[in-house]
Structure 1
Amino acid sequence: MVTGTPEEEERQGDPAADLSRDDIASGSLHDRLSSARDDFEHRVDRARDQFDATNEMIKKRTGRDLFAAIGVGIVAAAAVLASLLFVKWAFAILAVGIAALGVFELTRALQARGRRIDLVPQLVGAVAIVGAAFWFSTAVHWTSVFVSLAFIVVWRVLVQMSARDGRVYASIFSDIIVGCFIPLYVPFLASSALVLVRQDDGELWVIAFLLVVVVADTAAYATGLAFGKNKLAPRISPGKTWEGLAGAVVVSVAAGIAAAVLLLDLPWWTGIIIALALVGSATMGDLGESMIKRDLGIKDMSSWLPGHGGVLDRLDSILPSAVVALALFHFLSPLGVA
């Protein structure tokens, strides 16, 4: 049996020495854990600072909170996708509500600039037009459009007659024209998506066109942010560039081909047609709303959606694209793979 030196044997038999060694080991472990925790907290703080700095840089350049916009976009996309795939009538209700909010925003913005726009007939018309597109026939849908326009005109005339404020005929006529523009711009264009979703596999076409438009918007934003130098339409929307448009075309063509083959059972080359048509309509819609906002002297229609502005600021590229998607459905769906 091997034994240690007398000093070692004495220390081994000393309870105080054993306790001292345990304290040292415990203290060493505690120090290591504290150091690891401090290092982790330092890394988290540094990552948070980098995150905030990146977000502030993007906000300074674009005026948008990118990460808030991503969060809102994910929630909205999940709601739309779930309603389209599982409960179509829920998508219709969602579309009615979104169209009504867009009409509300635009009406309030016009009222703030001195336009005499009546909110009640505008909201009634929005609900009637979008609702009829899904729950009733094509004839009823078109009838709801004309009845809504007549309702808006009559309401404005009656309100103006009772006001007796000396407003000149040119101003009254201008208010009526602008008032009739709202239901044609927001609910009528939005109703095209409801007409589309009623078709055979229409929900897949709605998903496809929304996918291409969102991808195009995102690619234009990212490419323009990274490489944008040449302004696309500086007098209308200074933030848009030709480089951003080129990025939107390239990425949306890839998305269009994928959507055509995987979702719509169409030949791959139809995806190029779908992508180019939707990029064109989305760009025109975006520039069109920018013209309206520039004329009104505002940056966003509202601040309801963090990182996005208002509801209408997110619908600008989608509204005209819904009409184009409906036309593409009628032209291209006969080419579907049996």
Structure 2
Amino acid sequence: MTDQPQGPRPPKRGHGVSRAEFKAQVRATRTDFERQVQVTRADFERQVQATRAHLDATSERIEARTGRNLILAILIGLVLGGAMVVSLIFIKELFMIFASVIIGFTSFELAQALRRAGRNVPRIPVVIAAVGVVPAAFFLGSAGQWLATLAGIVFIALWRVALAILPDHRAPTRAVLGDMGAAVLIQIYVVFLASFAVLLAAQPGGQWWTVAFLLLVITADTGAYVSGLNFGKHPMAPSISPKKTWEGFIGAALSCIIAGVLLGLFMLDQPWWFGLIFGIVIVVTATFGDLAESLVKRDLGIKDMSSWLPGHGGFLDRLDSILPSAGAAYALYLIFA
């Protein structure tokens, strides 16, 4: 083995060197060694600070361009996506619980946003009605999905009428009807569309279709993000979502078509041409869902539905592309599976 340098070595006491001189040499050597350590440490800290500054500057540029904290978005996306995939593949009932929590939080989040916009939407019945649709769709199928959704709308409407008895909640009839309409929006836009994912997962082999369409939605989002970040120049709908570009949509479409073919062949046991249809349908519905939520936020005058998911905004900011895609995926399942 070759000897490796270990820094300054302490001097050896030789003949003719006094004890005091030897101690002075040892102190000098120790001082030189400590100075070298400090210099090395300072150089390392400067490199770390420079690297951190570079990463922060890059993250700020990306966030300014896309409106998203990339690192937090990736971490939270991995956690949520991993929990959802595990619940789907191993125990379907766990996915039902997971979906109940997500749909409940999303409904509450939209109700809060509508209340801030001036609509007196009762939050308790909204959450109860949202959570109730999930087991109905999972165990009773499409009939349970429809009945639970309609029952939820009636339940929320009756709750709002009952609240009108209280002095603090009294309002003109037109305002009360507007509050009911806002509650209907939550039940249809969030709960009913999201319940298609539960309905799909409950079918024989439906868990793989659910995983596949979720992966396609993620692929569309990632493809649009990367393409728009690097090549985006032509806004798709500047009055609704100024940062969404046609270049991003093209990147999302190409990514989805490739992923759709691969998922159709190796996960769903479908012919390659089904993957083309699958990819095209999901990229269209995902883009529509993203624009629809942007339009809702624009009407409400907000940037994000909430700040519950750092890097993403709120739950609805993550589910916007999934909601219409769930219905489309269920329709494709009924046709091809």
Band the TM-score falls in, shorter-chain normalisation: 0.7 to 0.9
Partner secondary structure for residue 233 of structure 2: coil
Question: Paired residue for 1:87, among 70, 83, 91?
Answer: 91
Structure 1 residues 174-253: aligned runs within 5 Å:
174-253=178-257
8 Å contact 1:189–1:320 — kept in the other structure? yes
8 Å contact 1:130–1:188 — kept in the other structure? no
Q: Is 1:296 matched up with 2:300?
A: yes
Question: Paired residue for 2:318, among 286, 289, 314?
Answer: 314
Counterpart for residue 62 of structure 2:
58
Counterpart for residue 336 of structure 2:
332
Deviation per CA, 1:49-104: give whole Å up to 9, x if none.
11111011122222221111111111111111111111221111111010011110
**1:75 & 1:111 partners in 2: Cα distance?**
30
Question: Paired residue for 2:136, among 129, 132, 138?
Answer: 132
Percent identity for Structure 1 against Structure 2: 43
Q: CA deviation at 1:261?
A: 1.3
Q: CA deviation at 1:45?
A: 2.2
Give the counterpart letter for 2:248 in structure 1.
Answer: G
**2:82 & 2:95 partners in 1: Cα distance?**
12
**2:29 & 2:267 partners in 1: Cα distance?**
63
Partner secondary structure for residue 269 of structure 2: coil
Counterpart for residue 6 of structure 1:
none
Q: CA deviation at 1:184?
A: 1.0
Give the counterpart letter for 1:186 in structure 2.
Answer: V
Counterpart for residue 7 of structure 1:
none
Partner secondary structure for residue 186 of structure 1: helix
TM-score of the aligned structures, taking structure 2 as reference length: 0.87
**1:141 & 1:274 partners in 2: Cα distance?**
24
Q: CA deviation at 1:141?
A: 2.8
The 1:16–1:145 alpha-carbon spacing in structure 2 relative to 1, beyond 3 Å, is: same
The 1:303–1:164 alpha-carbon spacing in structure 2 relative to 1, beyond 3 Å, is: closer
Counterpart for residue 283 of structure 1:
287
**1:15 & 1:186 partners in 2: Cα distance?**
91
Gaps of 5+ in 2: 1-11
CA-atom RMSD in angstroms: 2.6
**1:157 & 1:242 partners in 2: Cα distance?**
46
Partner secondary structure for residue 321 of structure 1: helix
Q: CA deviation at 1:171?
A: 2.4
Question: Paired residue for 1:270, among 258, 267, 274?
Answer: 274
**1:180 & 1:110 partners in 2: Cα distance?**
12
Q: CA deviation at 1:278?
A: 0.4
Q: Is 1:168 matched up with 2:172?
A: yes
Counterpart for residue 6 of structure 2:
none
Deviation per CA, 1:32-58: give whole Å up to 9, x if none.
766655544333222211111101112
8 Å contact 2:164–2:170 — kept in the other structure? no
Structure 1 residues 16-95: aligned runs within 5 Å:
37-95=41-99
Q: CA deviation at 1:166?
A: 6.6
TM-score of the aligned structures, taking structure 1 as reference length: 0.87
Partner secondary structure for residue 136 of structure 1: helix
**1:164 & 1:300 partners in 2: Cα distance?**
29
**1:198 & 1:317 partners in 2: Cα distance?**
21
The 1:332–1:27 alpha-carbon spacing in structure 2 relative to 1, beyond 3 Å, is: farther
Gaps of 5+ in 1: 1-10, 334-338
Counterpart for residue 143 of structure 1:
147
Give the counterpart letter for 2:60 in structure 1.
Answer: E
Give the counterpart letter for 1:326 in structure 2.
Answer: Y
Q: Is 1:108 matched up with 2:108?
A: no
Q: CA deviation at 1:14?
A: 4.1
The 1:12–1:208 alpha-carbon spacing in structure 2 relative to 1, beyond 3 Å, is: same
Partner secondary structure for residue 240 of structure 1: strand
Question: Which 10-residue stretch deviates more, 107-116 or 35-44?
Answer: 35-44
Q: CA deviation at 1:303?
A: 0.2
Matched residue pairs, number? 323
Counterpart for residue 256 of structure 1:
260
Deviation per CA, 1:179-202: give whole Å up to 9, x if none.
112111111111111111111211
**1:148 & 1:114 partners in 2: Cα distance?**
22
8 Å contact 1:216–1:248 — kept in the other structure? yes
